[in-house]
């Protein structure tokens, strides 16, 4: 310390702006990253031109720093292997090329760095489910590792290979699954201090190897009859137990030629000639399965 020279030149405007990111392997050691602003002027208001470095002071008591660490001319520094159960007080001082040292910055304290809280798991869901694989997503409120356990009778007969990468958004893919099978699964995440969380059980069902075609429950026209020109609103209701509907084809006059294609289950058509029509709809699922239905429309003069 060069307190003897301190009054010659004193910087001000020195701010210790940010504290700690802790990562504590084994939960016994913590790392603290400190960040501060560069001072621009000397204490007398003249421009500061010969700043050459900083000293981080710290200790277990406020205002009494047992350690001084010359970190050179940087604005951020990480101190490793602090005791994670202890409290620390930090301040920083700047020095110039002549060795004059500034007053301390504001003080920052860090307490209770030991992480004893388990990650909070939320948003668990299965997606992209095929006959033999499924992807599982979830989020945690802190960086943590990833594991999915799954099974047919319980949620923990099998486990995915664990992914140790600490992440907030977790995504794991299960493979080697059986088709047409209901699986139970649960996810777990552990933080770097060894705090573990395990989710509730969830389920997904793998589809059949063979596609089940869509099933039309109703094909309605509104109205079914009236004077020409008659505008009719068609609605078809359909379900697909192992997929979803990707297209609708409409044959308004029932002549076998498609007159319109949509991705929604409704359409309108205006009939201009008095006649009986047998309009037809065809519904296609995501694996090419099809279902058809007809209805009748009467248009008169």
- C-alpha–C-alpha distance, residues 222 and 174, integer Å: 47
292 lines the binding site for Ca ion (CB under 5 A): no
Residue count, binding to Ca ion (CB under 5 A)? 16
Residues 169-198 that bind Ca ion (CB under 5 A): 191, 195
Token pair of 62 as six digits: 């406020």
Least separation in angstroms between CB 262 and Ca ion? 15
243 lines the binding site for Ca ion (CB under 5 A): yes
Contact indicator for 293, 252 with CB cutoff of 8 Å: no
Binding residue (CB under 5 A) for Ca ion from 215, 259, 292, 293: 259
Least separation in angstroms between CB 19 and Ca ion? 17
Nearer to Ca ion, 96 or 242 (CB): 242
Binding residue (CB under 5 A) for Ca ion from 84, 108, 285, 291: 285
255 lines the binding site for Ca ion (CB under 5 A): yes
Least separation in angstroms between CB 97 and Ca ion? 44
Q: Which residues pair with 76 in a beta bridge?
A: 35
Binding residue (CB under 5 A) for Ca ion from 211, 235, 293, 298: 211
Nearer to Ca ion, 101 or 240 (CB): 240
160 lines the binding site for Ca ion (CB under 5 A): no
- C-alpha–C-alpha distance, residues 31 and 24, integer Å: 7
117 lines the binding site for Ca ion (CB under 5 A): yes
132 lines the binding site for Ca ion (CB under 5 A): no
Binding residue (CB under 5 A) for Ca ion from 44, 161, 200, 257: 257
Binding residue (CB under 5 A) for Ca ion from 101, 115, 145, 149: 115
Reduce the secondary structure of the chain to three states and give it as a string: CCHHHCCCCCEECCEEEECCCCCCHHHCEEEEEEEEECCCEECCCCECCCEEEEEEEEECECCECCEEEEEECCCEEEEEEEECCCCEEEEEEEEECCCCECCCCCCEEECCCCCCCCCCEEEEEEECCCCCEEEEEEEEEEEEEEEEEEECCCCCCEECCCEEEEEEEEEEEEECCCCCCEEEEEEEEECCCCCEEECCCEEEECCCCCCCCCEEEEEEEECCEEECCEEEEEEEEEECCCCCEEEEEEECCCCCCCCEEECCCEEEEEECCCEEECCEEEEEECCCCEEEEECCEEEEC
Least separation in angstroms between CB 217 and Ca ion? 15
145 lines the binding site for Ca ion (CB under 5 A): no
Nearer to Ca ion, 39 or 207 (CB): 207
Least separation in angstroms between CB 38 and Ca ion? 33
Interaction pattern, residues 43-82, with Ca ion; x per rule: CB under 5 A: ----------------------------------------
The residue ranges that bind Ca ion (CB under 5 A) are 115, 117, 191, 195, 211-212, 240, 242-243, 251, 253, 255, 257, 259, 285, 289
């Amino acid at each position: 310390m060069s307190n003897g020279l301190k009054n010659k030149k004193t910087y001000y405007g020195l701010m210790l702006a940010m504290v700690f990111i802790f990562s504590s392997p084994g939960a016994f050691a913590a790392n603290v990253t400190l960040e501060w602003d560069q001072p621009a002027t000397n204490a007398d208001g003249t421009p500061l031109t010969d700043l050459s470095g900083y000293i981080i002071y710290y200790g277990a008591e406020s205002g009494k720093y047992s350690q001084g660490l010359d970190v050179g001319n940087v604005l951020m520094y990480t101190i490793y292997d602090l005791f994670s159960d202890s409290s620390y007080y930090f301040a920083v001082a700047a020095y110039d090329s002549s060795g004059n040292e500034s007053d301390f910055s504001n003080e920052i304290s860090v307490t209770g760095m030991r992480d004893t809280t388990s990650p909070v798991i939320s948003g668990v869901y299965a997606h992209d489910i095929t006959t033999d694989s499924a992807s599982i997503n979830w989020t945690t409120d802190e960086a943590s590792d990833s594991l999915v356990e799954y099974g047919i009778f319980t949620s923990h007969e099998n486990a995915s290979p664990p992914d140790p990468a600490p992440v907030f958004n977790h995504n794991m893919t299960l493979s080697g699954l059986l088709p047409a099978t209901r699986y139970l699964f649960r996810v777990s995440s552990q933080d770097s201090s060894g705090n573990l969380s395990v989710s509730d059980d969830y389920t997904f069902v793998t589809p059949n190897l063979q596609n089940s075609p869509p099933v039309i429950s109703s094909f309605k026209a509104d109205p079914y009859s009236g004077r020409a020109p008659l505008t009719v609103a068609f609605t078809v209701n359909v379900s697909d137990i192992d997929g979803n509907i990707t297209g609708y084809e409409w044959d308004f006059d029932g002549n076998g030629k498609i007159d319109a294609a949509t991705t929604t289950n409704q359409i309108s058509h205006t009939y201009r000639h008095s006649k009986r029509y047998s309009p037809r709809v065809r519904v296609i699922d995501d694996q090419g399965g099809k279902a058809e239905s007809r209805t009748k429309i009467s248009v008169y003069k």
